[in-house]
Structure 1
Amino acid sequence: MISEKPVAVVFAYHNVGVRSIKTLLARGIHISLVVTHQDNPAETIWFESVADLCKEHGIETLTPADPKSEELYQRVASVAPDFIFSFYYRHMLPVTLLALAKRGAYNLHGSLLPKYRGRVPVNWAVLHGETETGATLHEMAAKPDAGGIVGQTSVPILPDDTAYEVFGKLAVAAEQTLWRALPDLIAGKIQVQPNNLAAGSYFGGRKPEDGRIDWSQPAQQVYNLHRAVAPPYPGAFFEQSGHHFIIIKARLSDLSFSDLPPGLHVVDNALFGVCGDGSALRIIELNRDGKTVTASDLHSLH
């Protein structure tokens, strides 16, 4: 007989972790243990805290450096969970650990699988100019984001959306996907769809250096890069006239600057990043060497 209160161990971090834990509790899942990360002091923490939420609800939390440790395996085994869930936890979980979940191990991923498997899927989708992405609940397997698909919810990526804005939509989409799937998961009658990896794509992590602007590229490509890494991410950047610049806020301009070389220019007391196709980004907020600067500060760029 299926217990009225299934027991879960949850691996979670970030806003998706917070919203998903709230959703499990609302659907009557008993969470015995949450495994999360210690915040990295070198990282901008713009998201909600899983640890704080667990403290509010009296849920035990662990922050192991390595989820493959024997100690963690034994702790999860002692819980004997019905389910293991992973919600934006940053490490792959070993198959031996997943096997401890009597009724399945499931992950929420921030893309419409099989597209954008792997790391930072929201940033990659924006970078590639996608007009849609979403959240996918899927079975966990040995390969990342490779298990059968339980449910998906799509969200639009608007032309000026930054990755941060899209992530806000995905947190809601993840909650909706989980909310809809849980009754069937709990009842043991979930329908799993195949995850056709050959039809999808896989991407690795991104480093701050990947935000370097190449002004010889077309304006849309440069704009997509800006949107993909705009604050609170490290930001798209470039060096010019011996200074380090980071674009904080920009829009595609409808003006043409085919007479100007690629790079940063002041035109009619406004800042423009001229690109290889003669089109440009109108730069609304710019940081130079760690300080905000205006067009009047940069009247002489060369």
Structure 2
Amino acid sequence: MKPRAVVFAYHNVGVRCLQVLLARGVDVALVVSHEDNPSETIWFGSVASVAAEHGIPVITPADPTSEALREAVRRVQPEFIFSFYYRHMLPVGVLALAPRGAYNMHGSLLPKYRGRVPTNWAVLHGETETGATLHEMSAKPDAGAIVGQTSVPILPDDTAQQVFDKVTVAAEQTLWRVLPALLAGEAPHLPNDLAHGSYFGGRKPEDGRIDWTQPAQRIYNLVRAVAPPYPGAFTEQEGERFIVARARLAPLGSEAASGLANLPPGLHVSDNAFFGVCGDARAIAISELWHVRDGNSVAVAPAQFAQLTHCPRHS
């Protein structure tokens, strides 16, 4: 008889991990997901669509603590509960409805980067590695015993989306590898030592504001961490807002970096190209700059930027 599960899931990790459960023969009796937010850029796959393709009932409750949700889960009598990038903490009363355990896939190498948007935080802090961890769920976020994890590299120019794509694959690999032992009751449950980890909250679009007095590497990490499809690192000049959509660190000693060394921190145009001069006199070379107006973002050329901001062009 197939083991029965209720799956709370959203986003690409939710899509791929749901597909792993189905491929491994798990009877997914119910999927709990989210309604897409019309104000959010939906650049990821739909868990609800995958469930519908397999004839699995889907509910999207607004309140994860509601008695109606608890009753819906209790009614299908799951042996397991899985959470794959579901955006709410699950109440202990719901977790207790799965006699064989409740497990979450988290996008970091726990105990590091517990909490919200772990991939973005890892890129922001200049990490060279992250990954995915399957762990038991408990009353505290991302605090239960570790069942399995897979690491991925963060390359120097990777954006958060590129890293997230790797983490999605790592999540799929982790679940595929450990699921047989988990279903057989033989999976390891390793300590998740919170004293050696870290916890971070969510991020808001305003957190992407660039402080040009900071060192170039820190600014570049911010650009990579929130690059589109995330809200983007932004700056304001002459009352106009601009998003630094794509950039690279200007190499030390390069002609471009040397020519900008005496300019004040901020956005500049030199040789018909954008540069951001940083607090340590290093620069980031900006290959794509967007102008934000009336809620819309449009790519701008150096000449347009100069007109909008009355910025002098340097040669």
Relative to the length of structure 1, the TM-score reads 0.97
Write out aligned runs for 1:183-198 (5 A): 183-198=180-195
Is residue 143 of structure 1 aligned with residue 144 of structure 2?
no
- The alpha carbon displacement at 1:25 in A equals 0.4
Write out aligned runs for 1:135-214 (5 A): 135-214=132-211
- Pick from 292, 297, 300 the counterpart of residue 293 of structure 1: 300
- The one-letter amino acid paired with 2:214 is Q
CA distance in structure 2 between the partners assigned to 1:292 and 1:178 by the alignment: 40
Q: Counterpart in 1 of 2:56? A: 59
CA distance in structure 2 between the partners assigned to 1:65 and 1:291 by the alignment: 34
Q: Please say if residues 80 and 102 of structure 1, whose CA atoms lie closer than 8 Å, have aligned partners that are also in contact.
A: no
- Pick from 281, 287, 293 the counterpart of residue 284 of structure 2: 281
Write out aligned runs for 1:10-21 (5 A): 10-21=7-18
SS across alignment from 1:51: helix
CA distance in structure 1 between the partners assigned to 2:56 and 2:69 by the alignment: 16
- The one-letter amino acid paired with 1:259 is N
CA distance in structure 2 between the partners assigned to 1:68 and 1:182 by the alignment: 28
Q: Please say if residues 258 and 277 of structure 1, whose CA atoms lie closer than 8 Å, have aligned partners that are also in contact.
A: no
- The alpha carbon displacement at 1:80 in A equals 1.1
CA distance in structure 2 between the partners assigned to 1:82 and 1:233 by the alignment: 36
Any idea what the Cα deviations from partners look like across 1:111-167, whole Å, max 9, x if unmatched? Answer: 000000000000000000000000000000000000000000000000000000000
CA distance in structure 2 between the partners assigned to 1:76 and 1:243 by the alignment: 50
- The alpha carbon displacement at 1:55 in A equals 0.8
- The RMSD of aligned alpha carbons is 0.9
- The alpha carbon displacement at 1:16 in A equals 0.2
SS across alignment from 1:220: helix
Q: Counterpart in 2 of 1:267? A: 270
Q: Please say if residues 241 and 301 of structure 1, whose CA atoms lie closer than 8 Å, have aligned partners that are also in contact.
A: no
Any idea what the Cα deviations from partners look like across 1:52-76, whole Å, max 9, x if unmatched? Answer: 1111110000000011111111111
Structure 2: any 5+ residue segments left out of the alignment? Answer: 252-256
SS across alignment from 1:271: strand
- Between the aligned residues of both structures, percent identity stands at 70
Q: Please say if residues 266 and 295 of structure 1, whose CA atoms lie closer than 8 Å, have aligned partners that are also in contact.
A: yes
- Pick from 113, 116, 119 the counterpart of residue 113 of structure 2: 116
SS across alignment from 1:284: strand
- The one-letter amino acid paired with 1:291 is V
- The alpha carbon displacement at 1:78 in A equals 1.2
Any idea what the Cα deviations from partners look like across 1:234-268, whole Å, max 9, x if unmatched? Answer: 00001012211111111111223320000001111
Q: Counterpart in 1 of 2:224? A: 227
- The alpha carbon displacement at 1:297 in A equals 2.2
CA distance in structure 2 between the partners assigned to 1:217 and 1:13 by the alignment: 36
CA distance in structure 2 between the partners assigned to 1:245 and 1:37 by the alignment: 31
Q: Counterpart in 2 of 1:215? A: 212
CA distance in structure 2 between the partners assigned to 1:115 and 1:271 by the alignment: 36
Q: Counterpart in 1 of 2:254? A: none
CA distance in structure 2 between the partners assigned to 1:253 and 1:155 by the alignment: 26
- The alpha carbon displacement at 1:13 in A equals 0.1
- The one-letter amino acid paired with 1:194 is P
SS across alignment from 1:239: strand
Query: Which contiguous aligned blocks of 4+ residues in structure 1 show a shift greater than 3 angstroms?
Result: none
Structure 1: any 5+ residue segments left out of the alignment? Answer: none
CA distance in structure 2 between the partners assigned to 1:178 and 1:291 by the alignment: 40
CA distance in structure 2 between the partners assigned to 1:288 and 1:10 by the alignment: 41
CA distance in structure 2 between the partners assigned to 1:288 and 1:182 by the alignment: 47
Any idea what the Cα deviations from partners look like across 1:159-182, whole Å, max 9, x if unmatched? Answer: 000000000001100000000111
- The alpha carbon displacement at 1:296 in A equals 2.5
CA distance in structure 1 between the partners assigned to 2:204 and 2:240 by the alignment: 21
SS across alignment from 2:234: strand
SS across alignment from 1:159: coil
